[in-house]
Each structure stands twice: as structure tokens, then as C-alpha cells.
Amino acid sequence: MQRAVIRSLEVDRFKTTFRWQDVIARYNELNVAVIGDAMLDAYTQGAVNRISPEGPAAVFDVQGTRYCPGGAANTAANLAALGAKTKLITVIGNDEAGERIRSLLERHQVNIENALLSNHRRTLSKHRLQSGSQQLMRVDEGTTARLDDVDECRLEEALASQLEEADLVVVSDYGYGIMTPRLIDKLNDRRAKVWLGVDSKSLTAFANVHPDVVKPNYAQARRLLGLSDAAESRQRCEGMVTHSDRLLALTGARTVAITCDHDGCVCLQADAAPVRLEAQSCRRPGVIGAGDTFLSAFALSLAAGGSVEMAAHLATSAAGLVVYKECTATCTAAELVRCQVGMGRSWELQSLSTHLAEERRHGRRIVLTCGCFDILHHGHVDYLRRAKALGDRLVVAVNTDASIHRLKGSGRPINSLADRLEVLAALDCIDYLLAFEEDRPDNVISAVRPNVFVKGGDYTIATLPEAPLVERLGGEIQFIPLVAGRSTTRIIDRILSGTAEPVATLS
């Protein structure tokens, strides 16, 4: 989750601003048309354990293949996942790959009546061979030549009809022949209240249609400026700010949102200060398609009445969610809502279990601890920070109010579950929070399947009831010494007795 202050800005065409809750809720009221290069993304997982006796080549033993919408199809899938009524406008081949794209999009609830089949084109596909998390090879197929006159006319008619209905048009242009000059010029016919977002390899080609937002990545922005490739730097986003006027002029856009992968993004505007957001770190990100997710959430948030700051915040959150997923992925509105509540860390057990399975597939080490955390104090913070240091992701399971009442008596908890979760969510060391009702966290342990289960130093293996379950599931148990003299019970006793904590002095 990004630490971003959302400032109120008036949105010209709505004359009002909305909270993020209102913006996400409005997604499902919007009609969106996506036009561009649709592709089929294929991921074949396998193993390389031997060399072929036929020659000096590795043998790739196939274990299975997963298919996903790619390119403009992935953008459409992301918009639909966020709740928008989405139609895809494109031309694909009348072939097996084309039918597979159409089938996948129907599952994503994308309208494909304008995903036109052509006997003159082969569907674009990108087939990746992977061993574990390592991509070994990518095989590209499909027609990349410009549309012929017949298909261009068919697509222009489809676009014209959608420009009458859409609240938002999103262009996903990979330079594979769909976005001809004639179709780009047709975007000028959109109604005044129709928003336009563009992601293109040739952004200057769209300058005359004046997009509301364009989304180059850092390398594309530098090429747009005629600059040579730069070395990796934490100042990449900040460096783009000095080129703000030129980038806005070259693209003709109201906002240029530059994504810098793990460095986050910077949004440049002619009439406002730049907006800078940092990304959450991810050790092994799956970045394929994350740009599609970013533009989908950004453009949809603008069309739903959000400010540029809010759009950037929600888009960065959405992209930050999909990089944890395998293959080309989408972010749902429910996931995006959850990412804002409690600093994005409060989960239901079933959803968290599914998500953590993906984390493990990316090689991340999961740490789990459980407790009441009624009045948060120094001892808690020290304990949680040390727990996080034992792995990559820290899950904190928190006893509900009823559970604490049973365990500690009628006077507890002092703070409600909602208050306790919100305070814990402010700690950077915690990645995921969940509440559990039972007196023992056995169900949580079974669902989370932690690599490390952490408890305080007042326990031992012999006195920890959960120890056999953790070990049976393949986890290890670590005990962290407690900070002397720091406990919720001690704090409550001092408050009731009116006794102040002795003040330490420096000699």
C-alpha cells in the first residue's frame, strides 16, 4: 500500500470530488470501450533436467499450459474485473487462438460482439516457456501488419457505434497494426464527456486527439524525449518532472502518468503540481500486464469522478496487487477496496489462503503470529518487527472481541476489534491482518500454512498447544523474548491505580 496523501481537486466534468469509496462504487455504472491489439498470453510450465541426445539442446518437459487474455484483451479483462461494463473493439484471426481469446473474455464478462474475426489475419499470441519462476523463452506468433481496407472499415464502424455509448475509451496500442491513422482520427468524434486513456508505443500519434491520460513507462518516456537509455536510478520519476512541459506537449494529453515499475509512478499535469507515488516492494514481481492494470484503474477512476491524485493512488494499488499474481492477471474491485481498508492488510481467511498460495509460488517465506494486541505498546512493536525479520510476509491473526472476552474475562478487550486492526495496520512490518473467533488459531494455521509460526518467549514447545499442528504442516516454530515490564495487563493496572511509569533519565 502506498503512503499517499489524497488532495481534493475539482474534476472539470463532474464539478465535484468523491471519496475513494465513492469512486470505486461508481466503476460499475460506467460503459467502457477498449480498442487495440488483443493477444493470447500462454504460459507453459516445465522442467529442464537433461540434454537431448540428438544435439546440444536442453530438453523441456512440459507440465502444463495456462492461457490468459493479453494486450488490449487484458486491459478489457481488468476493466471488467473492476466492475465496468466493458466492450472490446479489435480484429483477431478466425483461428484457434482467436476463439480462445473470445472464450477467456466471456469468462471475464467482457462483451466481445465487436471483437471481429478476420480470415486475413492470424491472432497475436505470446507463448512463454517457464521453469519455476524463470522464463526460458518467448515464442511470438500472429499478424503484425496494418489492417487491410476491409477490416479497417469494419473496425471503424464498430468504434463509431461505441463512441455514442461509452463513458470512457481506453486504447491499448502495441503497434501491431490495429490502430491505423484513420481509427486514431476517429477518436476525435467522441462526445465531450467521454474520457480517453491511451497506452501506445507511439504516443505522439495520438496528440491530435488530446487524451485525458497517457501511460508511458520510463523507457518509453525517455525515447519520446529522444534521450538515451539511463542507468537504473531511484530518481527516475523525479527526473521526469523536469521534462513535464515537453512530455505534455508531445502527447497532447492532460495528464502523463509515467510508470517506473518498482519505483512507482509520477503524474505530470499542465495545471497542477506533479503527483508522485512509490510502489510497494516485491522480491519477484510478475510484471507482465501490470501496465494494463494501472491504466485501467487510472482511467476508470478519472471517469468515475476521482482526482488525478486519487486515480494514481488507486492505479498504483491495483498494479501492486497483480504483480503478486502469476501470469497475466487482473485486479477486482473487491481486492482494490480491501487494499484501501486498514492500509490494505485486513483479509478474510479463505481469500488470504488463496493469496498466500500465490506468494509461496513466488518463493516468499510466510510468517504467522497470533494475539489480542489490545493496547499496543513497545513490547508489541518490538515483537512484530522481529517476527517480520524471520521471513518475507508477516501475517498477524487477531482475536475477536468475543474470543478475548472468553480468554481474559469480562473487562477485556479495552479496544474493539476494528480499533485494534486499524492501529496494527499502521505498522509497516505487517503485511496481512485477519481476525479469528476461536480460542485457538488452529483453523488459521491450517489455512495460512506458515513457514514460521512465532510466539512470545513465555512459551515453550511443550506449553504451546499449536506446536504439533505447525510442525505437521512443515512449519518451524520461533520464540521471541518479550520486552521486560511491557504488557497490556501492566498498563491497565497502572491506569486503574493512577501510577505513572518511572521516567528514565540519561546520565
**Active-site residue set:** 292
Which amino acid type is present at position 43?
Y
CA distance 322 to 309: 20
Burial status of residue 252 (CB atoms within 10 A of its CB: 0-12, 13-18, 19 or more): middle
Is 268 within 8 Å of 244 (Cβ atoms)? yes
Query: DSSP class of residue 204?
Result: G
**Cell 481534493 belongs to residue:** 8
The DSSP output letter for 346 is B
- Which candidate, 253, 303, 262, places its Cα nearest to that of 280? 262
Cβ-based neighbours of 497, under 8 Å, separated by 6 or more:
none
Distance between CA atoms of 209 and 253, rounded to whole angstroms? 9
Rounded to whole angstroms, the Cα distance separating 139 from 125 reads 8
The set of cell numbers assigned to 469 is 499442528
Cβ atoms of 315 and 301 within 8 Å: the answer is yes
Measuring CA to CA, which residue among 314, 249, 384 is closest to residue 1? 314
* DSSP codes joined into one string, 275-321: EEEPPPP-SS---TTHHHHHHHHHHHHHHTT--HHHHHHHHHHHHHH
- Here the cell at position 323 is 504483480
Provide the grid cell at 188: 476525435
Query: Which cell numbers in the block locate residue 301?
Result: 477512476
Half-sphere exposure of 220 (CA within 13 A, CB side): 20
Three-class secondary structure of residue 476 per DSSP: strand
Instruction: Concatenate the DSSP letters of all residues of 30-42 into one string.
Output: -EEEEEE-EEEEE
> Chain-centre distance of CA 317, in angstroms?
5
Is-contact 369 394, C-beta < 8 A? yes
Give the number of other Cβ atoms within 10 Å of residue 479's Cβ. Answer: 14
